[in-house]
Amino acid sequence: MMLEVENITRSFGQKAVLKGISFRMEKGGVNGIVGENGSGKSTLLQIIVGALKADSGRVAVFGRLGYCPQEALVFSQLTVLEHFQYFAAAYGLPVRGEGEESWQAHRDQLLEHFQFGQYRRERVAYLSGGTRQKLNLCLALFHRPGLLVLDEPYNGFDWETYLRFWDYAERFRASGGSILVVTHLIADKERFERIYNLKNGILQ
Amino acid sequence: MIVQRIGVSVSMLLRMMFRRRIIPILLLAIPAAFLLAVYWTTSERIMPFRLASVAEEVFLEASERNISLLFLAVASVGFLSSFLALNLIQREAAASHRLVLCGYHPLALLVSKLAVLAGCTALIALYVSVALLLFFTPEHLFLMMLGLFLAGLVYGSYGLLVGSLIRGELEGILFIVLLANIDAGWLQNPLFYAEAENQFIIRLLPAYFPSQAAIASAFSDHSIGSSVLASTLYALGFLAAAGVLYFIKMRKK
């Protein structure tokens, strides 16, 4: 098992957004959560990754977590490569000396796969929205997590990048990784093992 | 691991700060503008003033221009440091929060911000001290520089506190300008202080001890030990409060 969510509730003021959400994800699973704008999808995701506290309930993550937020949370004055170094330090990966090559090789594969290696020395301030989103996504991937939690991950992607994303996701899943995608729109239902609909604070 | 994380963060914060061209321009231009304004608007008239932190009966004599130059030098260092601190703590806070989610300890981020702030404040104090040398020769240059550094440290810590407390940039700048203007930019003027009605209030303000350290070392041979200690404690107080608030801000909501 990679993720277990048990009876999560969360309210903002008088408004109950999540009313006892429970589900679990097995190794190698790709699950989706859909719902209308404001249905609480991002709130649920933030509770799963630890950015937000639940009023009650329990979340258990088994293994390393990679989280891609909906908005590209990056630093405008740092380059693409500097972001990987900063986040490598955050993940506890070696940033100098021995062992550095292991994650750098994976980073280079990601830059190549998502086709933005040519911008590696560019500051984020000068990148397009789509390229920022690629960086936003890759920062959640390069430390080789076991569970990927992705909030609207292909926002701003062109069709080719969208296909490349699913190509990567398929390989990730085949290697035993699990993916939870939250989106307001699912185009390819066959890519998901299971799709939940979050409506009125309940998963259906 | 934590030392490595602090090192990486310091390096990234410095890059982010100095790649914004406005920052080095402000750091160079504001003290120069303050000092030139004083130079063009004051006279060489000798003024007696009371050295408030030493004893009631101690009066010093210096030219109106030199006193005003030093007083506004303290104000400019304090203002710039608090502005930098606010910038360090508020700018792209959501991305910093993501780093915390990925494993950075909030304390490591805060320490790295403080290290960058202290380094920049030392550079500003050095630059302003050298600039002051163009106008007059202080009695104790390095101690005066220490006084300026402490003014920056106290106001920088205040900037960190404001940045941790208030989300909006405009509101944060208003809080900083308000206090810096009233305190460092007005009440700590030694010429005003000598005639002030309620000196007790002036002594409680953050710029009091650093100002006294800078003034005493620039114009006299009096010891500044107690002013240095009190300034350090003042900065530590602000820092402790800023640290607690930053930690609360960065944890789960």
Q: Please report the ipTM that was assigned to this predicted complex.
A: 0.93
What range does the domain containing B149 cover? 26-90+116-250
Cross-chain residue pair B5–A96, CB shorter than 8 Å: no
Percent of chain A with pLDDT over 90: 80
Q: Which residues of B touch A96 (CB under 8 A)?
A: 4
Which residues of chain A make contact with B92, given a CB cutoff of 8 A? 75-76
**Domain identity same for A37 and A84:** no
B66 in any annotated domain: yes
| Structural domain includes residue B7 | no
Domain co-membership, A184 together with A85: no
Q: Which of A51, A52, A89 sits opposite B5 (nearest CB)?
A: A89
Reported as a single tens digit per residue, the pLDDT across A146-178 is 999 999 888 889 999 999 999 999 999 999 999
- With an 8 Å Cβ cutoff, are B15 and A78 in contact? yes
Residue A109's H or E segment, with its range, is helix A100-113
* Interface contact A85-B8, CB threshold 8 A: yes
> Residues B211, B204: contact at Cβ < 8 Å?
no
Task: Based on the fold, state whether residues A43 and A75 are members of the same structural domain.
Answer: no
Evaluate if residue A38 carries a pLDDT over 90.
Answer: no
The CA-based angle B83-B71-B28, given to 5 degrees, is: 45
Domain boundary among A145, A164, A187: A145
The last residue of one of the domains, among A145, A168, A189, is: A145
Determine the distance in angstroms separating the CA of B208 from the nearest CA of chain A, rounded to an integer.
36
Report the residue from A69, A89, A96 with minimal CB separation from B98.
Answer: A69
* CATH code for the domain in which residue A76 is found: 3.40.50.300
Q: What is the pLDDT along chain B (253 residues), one digit of tens a residue?
A: 888 999 999 999 999 999 999 999 999 999 999 999 999 999 999 988 877 777 667 778 899 999 999 999 999 999 999 999 999 999 999 999 999 999 999 999 999 999 999 999 999 999 999 999 999 999 999 999 999 999 999 999 999 999 999 988 899 999 999 998 888 888 888 877 777 788 888 889 999 999 999 999 999 998 999 999 999 999 999 999 999 999 988 876 6
B15–A96 C-beta distance less than 8 A: no
Contact B99 A87 (CB under 8 A): yes
Q: First-to-last CA distance in chain B?
A: 26
Is the CB of residue B21 less than 8 Å away from at least one CB of chain A? no
pLDDT of residue B253: 63
Least CB–CB distance from B99: residue in A69, A90, A96: A90
Let me know whether A8 and A20 are in one domain: yes
Which residues on B lie below 8 Å from A92 (Cβ)?
Answer: 1, 103
Nearest residue in chain B measured CA to CA from A67: B102
Instruction: Please indicate, yes or no, whether residues A141 and A154 belong to a single structural domain of this protein.
Output: no
In chain A, residues with a C-beta closer than 8 Å to the C-beta of B109 are none
DSSP state letters, B99-139: HHHHT--HHHHHHHHHHHHHHHHHHHHHHHHHHHHTT---S
- Minimum-distance CB partner of B252 among A51, A87, A91: A51
pLDDT digits (tens, 9 = 90+) for A68-95: 999 999 999 999 999 999 999 999 998 8
CA distance A92 to chain B (A): 7
Contacts of residue B240, Cβ cutoff 8 Å, sequence gap at least 6: none
Contact B187, B196 (CB under 8 A): yes
Number of domains in chain A: 2
Residue of chain A whose Cα is closest to the Cα of B91 = A75
What is the rounded CA–CA span in Å between residue A130 and residue A135? 9
Three-state SS string across B145-173, please?
A: HHHHHHHHHHHHHHHHHHHHHCCCHHHHH
Q: Residue B146: inside a domain, yes or no? A: yes
Establish if B22 touches chain A: CB-CB under 8 angstroms: no
The Cα of B88 is separated from the nearest Cα of chain A by a number of Å equal to 12
Contact (CB<8Å) A123/B1: no
- Considering the domain architecture, whether residues A130 and A79 belong to the same structural domain is answered as yes
Q: Choosing among B102, B107, B112, which should be mutated to test the A contact, i.e. which has the most A CBs within 10 A?
A: B102
Looking at the fold, whether A54 and A41 belong to one and the same domain comes out as: yes
Q: Answer yes or no: do A100 and A164 share one domain.
A: no
Interface A:B, Cβ pairs < 8 A? 62
Domain total of chain B: 1
pLDDT digits (tens, 9 = 90+) for A114-152: 999 999 999 999 999 999 999 999 999 999 999 999 998
Establish if B104 belongs to a structural domain: no
Say what the pLDDT of residue A95 is. Answer: 85
Q: Are A72 and A117 in contact (CB under 8 A)?
A: no
Whether residues A56 and A100 share a domain: the answer is no
The C-alpha angle B31, B37, B39, rounded to 5 degrees, equals 100
Of A108, A130, A145, the residue that ends a domain is A145
Q: Both A45 and A75 in a single domain? A: no
Same domain membership, residue A139 and residue A124: yes
Flag whether B46 is in a domain: yes
Any chain A CB within 8 A of the CB of B104?
A: yes
What is the average pLDDT value for chain A, to the nearest integer?
92
Strand order in the sheet with A56-61: A15-25, A3-12, A56-61
Token representation of residue B197:
């009605």
The residue in chain B having the minimum alpha-carbon distance to the alpha carbon of residue A12 is B253
Give pLDDT, residue A169: 94
Residues of chain A contacting B15 with CB distance shorter than 8 Å? 77-78, 82
**Residue from B101, B104, B251 whose CB has the most chain A CBs within 10 Å, to mutate:** B101
> Does residue B111 belong to any structural domain of this protein?
no
- Determine the residue type at B106: P
> Which residues from chain A sit within 8 angstroms of residue B2, using beta carbons?
none
Per CB-CB distance under 8 Å, the chain B contacts of A51 are 97, 101, 252-253
Residue numbers of the domain that contains A35: 1-63+149-204
